[in-house]
């Protein structure tokens, strides 16, 4: 490791984490006069719950911004420190979204940011995961089931579509997404998970 590399990686990780902590769902909802998304539905700050405010625009903006805060750190990390920097930045941004210091470490479930990281690591992998999400969402009408399927497939698809060393990162991110969706998994098993387009006050991802 070259002199100065370790401080640079530490700075990259910190900057990526801080970007990940930006609660775009909360900021967008308040800016559009929609209130606090933590007061409705699942109480989550992610795009799916923001959509429950009744504003597709707010939901779409949250989805895009949460994805970009996963994409940009990966691209910056690669430019500065090659693939190792890309993976570190992606992990830090993802953890920032899940555990934002500004919200007492109670953040989102990481799905949009996960997709941003995937597209940054290897865009074909991002396309496969997005296709899996869309197909599963169409078949089940459940955003949570789509997220679980896409995240589970990503490490396997990554063996073919991304540098081999990213498998461990993708597996870790998938595990974290499944852990964050444990309540959804229980509702899916019980047949009580809300469907896409259901009432905005329901519990869901």
Alpha carbons 16 and 26: distance in angstroms, whole number: 19
- Please give the average per-residue pLDDT across 33-40, as a whole number: 89
Alpha carbons 118 and 162: distance in angstroms, whole number: 9
pLDDT of residue 203: 42
Token pair of 45 as six digits: 């700050």
Confidence of residue 174 (pLDDT cuts 50, 70, 90): very high
pTM: 0.91
- Please give the average per-residue pLDDT across 191-201, as a whole number: 71
Residues in the chain: 205
pLDDT of residue 189: 95
pLDDT tens digits, one per residue of 10-23: 999 999 999 999 99
Alpha carbons 37 and 46: distance in angstroms, whole number: 9
Question: Which residue in the block uniquely carries the two structure tokens 């750190």?
Answer: 73
How many CB atoms neighbour CB 37 within 10 A? 30
What Å distances lie between residue 48 and 10, 72, 157, 204, CA to CA?
Answer: 32, 22, 25, 8
Alpha carbons 149 and 23: distance in angstroms, whole number: 25
How many CB atoms neighbour CB 143 within 10 A? 26
pLDDT of residue 51: 86
Question: Which residue in the block uniquely carries the two structure tokens 């625009």?
Answer: 57
pLDDT tens digits, one per residue of 59-79: 999 999 999 999 999 999 999
């Amino acid at each position: 490791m070259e002199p100065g590399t370790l401080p640079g990686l530490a700075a990259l990780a910190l900057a990526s984490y801080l970007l990940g902590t930006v609660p775009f769902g909360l900021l967008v909802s308040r800016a559009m006069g929609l209130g606090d998304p933590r007061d409705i539905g699942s109480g989550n700050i992610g795009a799916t719950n923001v959509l429950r405010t009744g504003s597709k625009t707010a939901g779409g903006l949250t989805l895009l911004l949460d994805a970009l805060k996963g994409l940009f750190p990966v691209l910056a990390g690669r430019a500065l420190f090659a693939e190792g920097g890309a993976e570190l930045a992606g992990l830090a941004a993802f953890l920032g979204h899940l555990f934002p210091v500004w919200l007492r470490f109670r953040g989102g479930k990481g799905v949009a940011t996960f997709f941003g990281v995937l597209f940054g690591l290897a865009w074909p992998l991002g396309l496969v995961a997005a296709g899996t999400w869309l197909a599963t969402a169409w078949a089940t009408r459940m955003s949570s089931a789509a997220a679980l399927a896409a995240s589970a497939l990503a490490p396997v698809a990554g063996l073919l579509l991304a540098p081999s060393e990213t498998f461990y990162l993708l597996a870790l991110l998938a595990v974290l997404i499944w852990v964050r969706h444990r309540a959804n998994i229980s509702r899916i098993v019980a047949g009580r998970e809300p469907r896409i387009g259901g009432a905005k006050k329901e519990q869901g991802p």
